[in-house]
Amino acid sequence: MSKFLKVTAATALSLCIAAPAYAEKLGLGRAALPEEIAAWDKDVSPNGEGLPEGSGDALVGEEVFAEKCASCHGDFAEGVDNWPKLAGGADTLADKDPLKTVGSYWPYLSTTWDYVNRSMPFGDAQTLTNDEVYAIVAYILYSNDLIEDDFVLSKETFLEVEMPNASGFILDDRLTSEAHFVGDACMSDCKDEVKITKHVVFKGDPNSPDDPVSESAGEAAQDAATAEDEAKAEDAPKAEEAAVVEAAALDAELVKAGEKVFKKCKACHQVGEGAKARTGPVLNGVVGAKLGHVENFKYSKTMLSMGEEGVVWNEANLAEFLKKPRSFVSKTKMSFAGLKKEDDIKAVTEYLKSFSE
């Protein structure tokens, strides 16, 4: 046996002997002191029980997150490489490839607080102060549009935060709800008589000659379909003409360059057919629209106020915002620092112009 294997074996044996069962049997070790147990007992319950004193908001949290967390989770909680995303994924749980984040999946805020407090930052766990943990959690919530940036998270306000997937989990009650399945299954002579209690009704295609739907209904459906086709045929030249004019007005090379720049935005925003709101709103039709124009998206109060005053996303305003967002819209929820190159700003603006409503 090599020296390395001997050392490994000896170490493994010592660990086994030090285990509680061996300690009790062989008289090794001692019972843990209350203060030692308390040092490890950091559990936080969904009702807030176990939370320590302290507080923090997203503004402070952004700075702490950038220093302690961004190297793995990105500046905007969008994840880096294979490190997990902490924001986004709203309404994706039913998708084939759902994005499970604090905002889309986690049912309890206590899980977030407990995990950050117990295990983060990676490689330097349990070095954060209570205030830093509160601030980081606040920033994660803010990145998921669950709180305003000036909301102060603390022991007292903890339960004011409503997690979107709080009702998405159910208790496993199969032992009681499926108790009637327990026992020996009947395999023969189990029922004296079997009766059909319902029938499946197939309505089928009203245009089919074999369909049970009345002939008049089929004719009505056919007439409606014909009218719809005629309307589409009439509008087609107009749509093609508009598309040609729009394509001619865009700089194709600039659009292509803008698509590359937009990769910096894709963690929060989507464009194109089927686009959905993420941490940020869908950007289809944004050029020329008023600030805060996307319905049912939770913008910052400043953004909504500017939109109500008639401020629009023209190219000049977009350029100013993309260069330094918080200088153009104070307290904007977008935590992106901005694009430094004017060419990138022009390119991404041209790219956004290629997506209408």
Domain boundary assignment for the chain: 42-160, 253-353
Q: How far is Cα 116 from Cα 82, in angstroms, rounded to an integer?
A: 18
Structure confidence by residue, pLDDT tens digits, 79-101: 988 899 999 998 899 999 999 99
pLDDT of residue 204: 57
Q: How far is Cα 83 from Cα 186, in angstroms, rounded to an integer?
A: 51
pLDDT of residue 231: 59
pLDDT classification of 194: cutoffs 50, 70, 90: confident
- 42-160 and 253-353, same CATH topology: yes
- Whether residue 224 has pLDDT greater than 50: yes
pLDDT of residue 278: 75
- Whether residue 327 has pLDDT greater than 80: yes
- Whether residue 330 has pLDDT greater than 90: no
Q: For residues 27-56, give the mean pLDDT.
A: 89
| Cα 85 versus chain centre, distance | 8
- Whether residue 2 has pLDDT greater than 50: no
Out of 3.60.15.10, 1.10.10.10, 1.10.760.10, 3.20.20.70, the CATH code matching 253-353 is: 1.10.760.10
Those residues whose C-beta lies under 8 Å from the C-beta of residue 134, and which sit 6 or more positions away, are: 54, 55, 56, 61, 113, 153, 154
275: left (phi over 0), alpha (psi -120 to 50) or beta: beta
Tokens of 100: 């499970």
133 near 125, Cβ under 8 Å? no
> 58-68 and 130-143 are packed helices; what angle lies between their axes, rounded to 10 degrees?
100
For domain 42-160, the CATH superfamily is Cytochrome c-like domain (1.10.760.10)
pLDDT classification of 12: cutoffs 50, 70, 90: very low
**Upper half-sphere CA count for residue 96 (Cβ side, 13 Å):** 0
Those residues whose C-beta lies under 8 Å from the C-beta of residue 306, and which sit 6 or more positions away, are: 291, 292, 329
pLDDT of residue 3: 40
155 near 53, Cβ under 8 Å? yes
Least confident of 144-148, 250-254, 326-330: 326-330
- pTM value is 0.47
165: left (phi over 0), alpha (psi -120 to 50) or beta: alpha
pLDDT of residue 69: 95
- Whether residue 11 has pLDDT greater than 90: no
Structure confidence by residue, pLDDT tens digits, 259-313: 888 887 877 788 888 888 877 888 999 899 998 889 888 888 888 889 899 999 9
